[in-house]
Structure 1
């Protein structure tokens, strides 16, 4: 039996879309599979989307499994129940662990520089001639524009745009779905800001630095409003990790740049050098949109 899974801290939209769709691809090509996602859904899956009829397991019974991993390739972030020697495939778009996996599973490692892992999964569906359900099509379509910040992020690839266009012919969503999605996302976040922040915090260890980084991220239509109203909540959530090297980044899609928050002078200086951040006190801005993974890549490449 094949198990499609990811990490276990939280389940974001790209993870959900990829896991549901790839599980369906396997089952429709006569390879029995189940989807196991132990992490709670985070804010990127909006209230109305949670009523979509997707199904997965949050607990995994003991068994003889082979694993397909989606949207993560850092060995430290893969679900703890996974036996790493039984991973047969990985689909991811995050940098840093390509050689590690290619040396272990060879052609089973599909780690490629696209904006959304959902793009890779859609390409697999096309390659295998698998007709996906409406739910999977809608999830992949939404994950692609969400993970590329509505195609404004620099990680956006022509492959993302092509997959989005192909899926756009198949979805049964309103024509203005991206606008509806971001409006719902913002309403959900403002309704429960603490939970939204906690469910999208990533702890990252980079070999060039003697300490881990604690990075919170929320992608919003209007990030400035959120930061101004909820700085105390952000600080409390990030400081709870007991590490002074924390910062919060929020791409503000309506005005095309990020809002940043940190109280660490060294981090302010680092973010200024890496992404041209301009700080006034503890709040900073950038001159274009950055996803967390793009900032992490610049940290990894820092000399």
Structure 2
């Protein structure tokens, strides 16, 4: 049996790819199942609840029964469940520049620089002449919109737009779909703001450094900072301590204004960001002139941190 999965505690893109790619494999006559490790990101939960879709299976229930693993929206060991045997991974579907092919010695890699891994999975359906179920179509469409910030960010390609248009021809997408999607990850309460930031945080190995980047993609970013800004430094310090991170920062994708707001309390990290992103700091805050996703920022930092 083939398990199609993604990194632990996945966002909508990882969930969509896992569910849809498993469905595609079944349509091709394979014995496959989609399974998720950990807790779904609240945006993925919102999409499932909005359309009354089935929840993906808990991968821990089947991991001992699988012969092969297809890994989606992930292409290195960082962030995946420790229950995944890298030797069993036979296929990787991802969309980021920063990855390590040596982590999975038996895998065929499809790593292409599009806005969303769900675009690649949608193209699989198109190429095979198969029609996705409503569940897969809604999840894929939502993931493409989310990952490209409604086609506003720099990683958006014509392939993403064409994949979304093709999905629109398969299911009826409500007019308020995009707004609902972004609202689902833009509401915070004081008790859980730390958890939400931690869920959207990850780290990267650099020469002699471990760099942490937390990322939020939200509406009403200034309102968020007015209400919760005083907590950010302590939250980042907690994340860095827990993961033994040397330097780090929070990147807020300000959807309303098409920019990033960067918050950093580390003099060295601010200097690197100034050099890599050409930003200027006012205290512990800087902002970019356009939207930059984490996957774009990391390669630029690698050119600076040698």
Is TM more than 0.5 here? yes
| Residue from 64, 82, 85 that aligns with 2:84 | 82
Q: Determine which of 210, 215, 222 is the counterpart of 2:213.
A: 215
Pair 1:238 & 2:236 matched? yes
CA distance in 2, matches of 1:47, 1:160: 22
What SS does structure 2 have at the residue aligned with 1:95? Answer: coil
TM-score by length of 2: 0.90
- Distance in 2, Cα, partners of 1:114 & 1:54: 27
Q: Which residue of 2 aligns with 1:60?
A: 61
What is the deviation of 1:40? 1.0
User: Secondary structure of the equivalent of 1:44?
Assistant: helix
Q: Give the conservation status (yes or no) of the 8 Å contact 2:89–2:106.
A: no
Alignment-derived partner of residue 170 in structure 1: 170
Q: Deviations over 1:132-156 (max 9, x none)?
A: 1111101111111110111111111
C-alpha contact 2:247 2:266 (8 A) present in aligned 1: yes
RMSD of Structure 2 on Structure 1 (CA): 2.1
Q: Shift of the alpha carbon at 1:131?
A: 1.8
C-alpha distance in structure 1 between counterparts of 2:14 and 2:110, whole Å = 15
Paired with 1:300 and 1:79, the residues of 2 have a C-alpha distance of 26
SS of the residue corresponding to residue 279 of structure 1 reads coil
Report what 1:36 is aligned to: 35
Shift of 1:64: 4.3
**Secondary structure of the residue that 1:204 maps to in structure 2?**
strand
- The total of aligned residue pairs comes to 298
> CA separation in 2, counterparts of 1:188 and 1:19?
27
**CA distance, structure 1, for counterparts of residue 103 and residue 211 of structure 2:** 24
Q: Distance in 2 between matches of 1:128 and 1:44?
A: 29
Give the alignment's TM-score, normalised by structure 1: 0.91
Aligned residue in 2 for 1:144? 144
The answer to whether the 8 A contact 1:190-1:226 is kept is no
Q: Any idea what SS the aligned residue of 1:136 has? A: helix
For residue 19 of structure 1, report the CA deviation from its aligned partner. Answer: 0.5
Spell out, residue by residue over 1:270-291, the C-alpha distance to the aligned partner (whole angstroms, 9 max, x if none). 1111112221101111111111
The match for 2:123 is: 123
Displacement of 1:185 in angstroms is: 2.6
Deviation of 1:112 (Å)? 0.4
* Equivalent residue in structure 1 for 2:284, among 255, 269, 282: 282
Report what 1:96 is aligned to.
98
Shift in Å, 1:228: 2.8
Report the Cα distance in structure 1 between the residues aligned to 2:289 and 2:283, rounded to whole angstroms. 17
Give the Cα separation in 2 of the matches to 1:102 and 1:77: 14
Deviation at 1:231, TM superposition (A): 2.3
1:271 counterpart residue number: 273
